[in-house]
C-alpha cells in the first residue's frame, strides 16, 4: 500500500471516530449506537478498499472464469433423458413406387417435443421441432430397386462366412478391431484415423461399399415376402451432418432457448456431428411407400415388424431399440438400421440387447 492510500485509509478512520466521539458526548445514553456505527462503517470501508486496491487481480480472475464458462458451453452437454419425442416427421408429399430408393432423403431423426419454458416462444419452438429437409423426395433421383439390380454385372450374394446364423454366441469371439462392429455414439466419436471406401447404391446415394451387397439382399428378401422397403438417408459427410445439427440448434434458440438447452434437445433429434453412424456409411433409414413418417409408428407396420425379425439375417440391427434409451441416449427409432455383420447381429437380436451392451458383454 502506497503512502497516499494509507493516508486515505487513516483519514477515513479518524473521521469516523471523530464523528462517533461527538455523537457520544451529546447522546451518552445512545453511545452503543455510535460504537456500532463506527465498527460497521470502518469494516465496510476496509472491505471495499481491499477490492479497490486489488482491482487488476480480481479483473484477471473474472476474465479467466468467463473464459472457462464460455468455452464449456461448446462441449457436449449432459444428456437429459426425460424428454419425449414427437411423431411429426414426414417426407414431402410425393408419389412413391414399391422398392424405391430416395437419394439423400434427409428425413433426419425424429424431432423432440418439449414443454416450452418461461420466455420461450411456443410457436417458434414448435416450428423448430419440424423437419427442415431441402433434399427430401428428389423425384429425379428416385430409382426402382429392379433398375439397381439390372445395373449390376454380378448378382449380389452374402459371403459364405456370414451366411449361417450363429448358434451359440459364446463360441465366437468379437474383436474390437472389426470394422463391422465399430461403436460410434456421443461417448465414442468416429476415430480420426477411421477410413473406408464409399460405394454407390444408386445415383448420388452412397454408403460403405461392403454394406451394399447385404443391403440389396435384404431388400430382395423383403420384396419376396411382400414388403416394399424404401431406403433413405444413407451416407452423410461431416458437412451435411453439421448443417443438420446446427440448423436444429439455431431453430430451438430462435424459440428463446439457451444454447445449452437447444444443444441438449437437438442432440436427441439429430446426432452430434462426428458421432453419427451415417458418417461412416454403415447406417440407413428405412421406410415404405405406405408409411413415410419417421416415428415410432413405423415399428407397428408390417415392414417395421419384418425388419425387426429378419434384418439380423443380413447383418443389420435395429440400432436404437425401445427400452434402451438410457443406454443409447437416443429415443426409440424403429426405422434406423445399422450393419454389424450376421454374427454380431444374430447375438444382438437373439439376446434383445443394443450395440453398447453387446460391446460390454462380447467384445474383446
Active-site residue set:
333
Residue 275 near residue 186, CB atoms below 8 Å: yes
Half-sphere exposure (CA, 13 Å, Cβ side) for 354? 21
* 92 CB-near residues (< 8 Å, 6+ apart): 133, 136, 137
Rounded CA separation 29/25 (Å): 9
At 40 the three-state DSSP class reads helix
Half-sphere exposure (CA, 13 Å, Cβ side) for 356? 14
Nearest alpha carbon to residue 52 among 10, 11, 5, 3: 5
DSSP letter at 113 equals -
- Residue located via cell numbers 461431416: 238
Phi, psi of 158 (to 5 degrees): -85, 140
Pairing between β-strand 100-101 and β-strand 283-288 as defined by DSSP bridges: unpaired
Phi, psi of 294 (to 5 degrees): -90, 80
Rounded CA separation 283/331 (Å): 16
- Residue located via cell numbers 440400432: 319
Nearest alpha carbon to residue 219 among 234, 230, 210, 233: 230
Amino acid at each position: 500500500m502506497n503512502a497516499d492510500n494509507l493516508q486515505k485509509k487513516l483519514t477515513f478512520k479518524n473521521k469516523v471516530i471523530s464523528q462517533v466521539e461527538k455523537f457520544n458526548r451529546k447522546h451518552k445514553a445512545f453511545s452503543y449506537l455510535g460504537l456500532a456505527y463506527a465498527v460497521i462503517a470502518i469494516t465496510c470501508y476496509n472491505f471495499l478498499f481491499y477490492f479497490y486496491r486489488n482491482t487488476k487481480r480480481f479483473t484477471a480472475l473474472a476474465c479467466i472464469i468467463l473464459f472457462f464458462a464460455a468455452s464449456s458451453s461448446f462441449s457436449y452437454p449432459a444428456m437429459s433423458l426425460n424428454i419425449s419425442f414427437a411423431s411429426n416427421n414426414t417426407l414431402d408429399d410425393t408419389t412413391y413406387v414399391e422398392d424405391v430408393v430416395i437419394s439423400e432423403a434427409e428425413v433426419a431423426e425424429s424431432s423432440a417435443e418439449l414443454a416450452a419454458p418461461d420466455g420461450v416462444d411456443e410457436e417458434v419452438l414448435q416450428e423448430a421441432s419440424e423437419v427442415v429437409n431441402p433434399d427430401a423426395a428428389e423425384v429425379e433421383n428416385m430409382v426402382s430397386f429392379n433398375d439397381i439390380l439390372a445395373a449390376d454385372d454380378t448378382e449380389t450374394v452374402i459371403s459364405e462366412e456370414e451366411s449361417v446364423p450363429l448358434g451359440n454366441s459364446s463360441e465366437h469371439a468379437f474383436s474390437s478391431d472389426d470394422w463391422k462392429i465399430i461403436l460410434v455414439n456421443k461417448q465414442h466419436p468416429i476415430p480420426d484415423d477411421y477410413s473406408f471406401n464409399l460405394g454407390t447404391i444408386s445415383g448420388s446415394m452412397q454408403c460403405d461399399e461392403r454394406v451394399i451387397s447385404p443391403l440389396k439382399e435384404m431388400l430382395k428378401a423383403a420384396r419376396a415376402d411382400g414388403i416394399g422397403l424404401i431406403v433413405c438417408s444413407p451416407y452423410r459427410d461431416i458437412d451435411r451432418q453439421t448443417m443438420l445439427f446446427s440448423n436444429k440448434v439455431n431453430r430451438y434458440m430462435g424459440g428463446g432457448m439457451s444454447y445449452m438447452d437447444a444443444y441438449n434437445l437437438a442432440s436427441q433429434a439429430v446426432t452430434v456431428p462426428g458421432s453419427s453412424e451415417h458418417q461412416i456409411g454403415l447406417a440407413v433409414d428405412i421406410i415404405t411407400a405406405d408409411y413415410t413418417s419417421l416415428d415410432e409408428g413405423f415399428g407397428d407396420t408390417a415392414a417395421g415388424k419384418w425388419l425387426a425379425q429378419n434384418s439380423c439375417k443380413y447383418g443389420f440391427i435395429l440400432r436404437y431399440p425401445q427400452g434402451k434409451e438410457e443406454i443409447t441416449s437416443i429415443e426409440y427409432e424403429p426405422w434406423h438400421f445399422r450393419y454389424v455383420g450376421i454374427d454380431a447381429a444374430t447375438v444382438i437380436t437373439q439376446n434383445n440387447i443394443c450395440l453398447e451392451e453387446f460391446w460390454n458383454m462380447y467384445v474383446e
